[in-house]
Amino acid sequence: MNLENWQTQLRKGLLDIVVLNLLNRGPSHGYEMVQTMKRIEGLQIREGNIYPVLARLQTDGLVTSYSQPSADGPPRKYFQLTQAGQRALEDMNRYWEQIIRSLESVRKGAVL
Amino acid sequence: MNAQYRHSQPGYLSIVISFILITVGVIMYVCGLRPLGILLGVTGLICFVFSYKLTAEIKDGYLRFWFGPGLFWKKILLEQIAYCEPFKGVFSGWGIRYICNGWLYNVSGMKAVTVVLKSGKKIHIGTDEPVQLIEAINSVLHGQAGAESARMWSEVKVDYLKRLEQALSFARHPRSFEILADVNNHLDRRFGELELENRNWENFQKIATEMGPPSDYADLVGDKKTKWYLPSAAELISICLIFVMCAVSVYFYPRMPEQMATHWDMYGQVNGYMPKLPALVLFPVILAAIVASFIVVPRVASLWANIEGFRKFFGGLAVLLSVFFSLVQYLTIMWNLGIKINPVIVILPMTAALIGWIFFMLYRANRKKY
């Protein structure tokens, strides 16, 4: 098994929940989110990966965006959570905690 | 202070049109149609004076441009410019128009420079030498070295965006339009954040590498939702309308006269007849060919990103054409059954709606978002 490939796929699969949790702290733009994630071990992603996710979350109505002028270039596109996004995030976080508990019980042999 | 850059692009078409208007005006005047002659002559003269050339100038910290001799001009404070790049929209005529999120001013040719202000506002200035104008603006903004680095950056960016567009198109990515615009914006901002002395080839390549390979965008989990091969709602409606039209035509075929009335003048009087078989077959066949081309072309087009944002307008046109053809077919059948409704009352508003829709489509027809 290619471990690196598995890790990459897992990271990509977690992008939605990571991005929504980051936006839960306040509005942010793509580059800022990538920089934050680069500082978190195991969540480092390339900038190219975040834009499709943000575009998809926006299409699904979970985030909205607005433009804000920037002193050093074109306006920045900021994203923020919508109410639907907030609700989806709560569900996702709940499910994630459940998954971790289930995985732990499998690892410890508690489930036959 | 002398201008740091100044160039005028001649408006050949305006010159020719003005010349024709003035000549026709003079001929009419001589022939006795004096008011109309004067009107045409004066219109030609005004057309010539205001649009025989478009001049762009950089002077005293401003970028100015004006039509003709400069009676009216527009100026942009150079400090307000975030960056500039070659205009990426499609040809859409000359004059002043709103296109690609900004006002376009041009008199000839298809080239222009897009000036993006720090406020996000865009202005497209027509010119026959876009590269020189961009370099002139950049050299005033960032000095000679800055102009050179902006040119290098443009090469790296265009190369990256081209590869990204191909990757997204290949994957039929459902949000390629949006992503291309975002990535372009992001790349420009990264460039703006680099200090002048760090604007070199290595750092540009580094930014492009950080972005990851373009194929990453298309590979993302959950992003391949578009079943692009399935017909859209508009396409299905058009296909249904064709089938209904065929069924109605087949049903009424035995009741039609051998020579069917198929053409009317503007007063609704019949002035053309056709044998009933071609008369009933013609419209369904033409419409089927048109709708088939509307369905096939977007699916075989190599640049899905360009089609994607445009698809709904394309679909709207297919539905409008199908409704138009169906109505005319049904009115023709009704007329030949003895229910005589003047087809002009349908054809005129439908033609107006079709032309309106086509104008609307052309207005929205940008090749790319970046």
- By C-alpha distance, the chain B residue nearest A14 is B221
Angstrom distance (rounded) from CA B203 to CA B248 = 67
pLDDT at B368: 47
Domains of chain A: 3-107 (1.10.10.10)
Task: Provide the β-strand partners of residue B10.
Answer: B53
pLDDT at B156: 87
Is the domain of B99 the same as that of B151? no
The three state secondary structure string of chain B is CCCCEEEEEECHHHHHHHHHHHHHHHHHHHCCCHHHHHHHHHHHHHHHHHHCEEEEEEECCEEEEEECCCCCEEEEEHHHEEEEEECCCCCCCCEEEEECCEEEEECCCCCEEEEEECCCCEEEEECCCHHHHHHHHHHHHHHHHHHHHHHHHHHHHHHHHHHHHHHHHHCCCCCHHHHHHHHHHHHHHHHHHCCHHHCCHHHHHHHHHHCCCCHHHHHCCCCCCCCCCCCCHHHHHHHHHHHHHHHHHHHHHHHCCCEEEEEECCCCCEEEEEEHHHHHHHHHHHHHHHHHHHHHHHHHCCCHHHHHCCHHHHHHHHHHHHHHHHHHHHHHHHHHHCCCCCCHHHHHHHHHHHHHHHHHHHHHCCCCCC
With left for phi above 0 and alpha for psi between -120 and 50, is residue B7 left, alpha or beta?
beta
Among B287, B270, B282, smallest CA distance to B336 is for B270
Higher pLDDT, B300 or B352: B352
Query: B122-126 and B102-106: which strand pairing?
Result: parallel
Mean pLDDT value across residues B342-355: 86
| ipTM of the prediction | 0.74
Residue B218 has which token pair?
Answer: 């298309």
Is the domain of B274 the same as that of B297? yes
Choose, out of B79, B160, B189, the residue to mutate when testing the contact with A (most A CBs < 10 Å): B189
Could you tell me if B343 and B335 are in contact, meaning their C-beta atoms sit under 8 angstroms apart?
yes
Distances (CA, A) of B120 to A75, A78, A92, B147: 6, 14, 36, 21
Is the domain of B36 the same as that of B73? yes
Residue B133 domain flag: no
Is the domain of B76 the same as that of B164? no
Say whether pLDDT at A75 is over 90. Answer: no
Residue B181 has which token pair?
Answer: 């615009």
Say whether pLDDT at B222 is over 70. Answer: no
pLDDT at A23: 95
Among B119, B118, B125, B107, smallest CA distance to B58 is for B125
Last residue of a domain, one of B96, B128, B160: B128
Is the domain of B124 the same as that of B172? no
For chain A, what is the mean pLDDT? Answer: 87
Is the domain of B255 the same as that of B315? yes
Mean pLDDT value across residues B19-40: 89
Among A82, A96, A66, A100, smallest CA distance to A24 is for A82
Is the domain of B284 the same as that of B360? yes
Is the domain of B198 the same as that of B292? no
Q: List CB contacts (< 8 A) between B221 and chain A.
A: 9, 12-13, 15
Angstrom distance (rounded) from CA B9 to CA B129 = 9
Last residue of a domain, one of B164, B196, B219: B219
The model carries a pTM of 0.59
- By C-alpha distance, the chain B residue nearest A75 is B120
Among B58, B64, B56, smallest CA distance to B137 is for B58
Q: Which domain holds residue B150?
A: 144-219
The string of pLDDT tens digits covering residues B249-292 is 999 999 999 999 988 887 788 888 989 899 999 999 999 999 99
CA distance B180 to chain A (A): 9
Please state the φ and ψ torsions of residue B206, each to the nearest 5 degrees.
Answer: -65, -45
Look at B192 and A73 and tell me if their CB atoms are within 8 Å: yes
Is the domain of B122 the same as that of B156? no
User: Is A71 near chain B, with CB under 8 Å?
Assistant: yes
Give the confidence band of A73 by pLDDT, cuts at 50, 70, 90. Answer: low
Is the domain of B259 the same as that of B162? no
Is B224 exposed, middle or buried, given 0-12, 13-18 or 19+ CB atoms closer than 10 A? middle
Task: Provide the β-strand partners of residue B59.
Answer: B62
Is the domain of B261 the same as that of B298? yes
- The chain B residues in contact with chain A (CB within 8 A) are 82-83, 116, 118-120, 173, 175, 178-179, 182-183, 185-186, 188-193, 210-214, 216-217, 219-223
Choose, out of A34, A35, A56, the residue to mutate when testing the contact with B (most B CBs < 10 Å): A56
User: Is A68 near chain B, with CB under 8 Å?
Assistant: no
Is the domain of B357 the same as that of B253? yes
pLDDT at B369: 42
Residue B189 domain flag: yes
Helix or strand (DSSP H, E) at A49: none
Look at B188 and A31 and tell me if their CB atoms are within 8 Å: no
The string of pLDDT tens digits covering residues A22-60 is 999 999 988 889 889 988 888 888 888 888 889 889 988
Could you tell me if B120 and A67 are in contact, meaning their C-beta atoms sit under 8 angstroms apart?
yes
Higher pLDDT, B87 or B76: B76
User: Is A47 near chain B, with CB under 8 Å?
Assistant: yes
Look at B119 and A55 and tell me if their CB atoms are within 8 Å: no
Residue B214 domain flag: yes
Angstrom distance (rounded) from CA A92 to CA A16 = 9
pLDDT at B260: 92
Last residue of a domain, one of B174, B190, B219: B219
Looking at the structure of chain B, the number of domains it has is 3
Residue B330 domain flag: yes
Beta-strand ranges (E) seen in A2-86 are 28-29, 63-70, 73-81
The string of pLDDT tens digits covering residues B164-199 is 888 887 777 777 777 888 888 888 888 878 877 788
Q: Would you mind telling me the total number of residues written for chain A in this entry?
A: 112
Look at A47 and B211 and tell me if their CB atoms are within 8 Å: yes
Say whether pLDDT at B365 is over 70. Answer: no
Give the confidence band of B246 by pLDDT, cuts at 50, 70, 90. Answer: very high
Residue B80 domain flag: yes
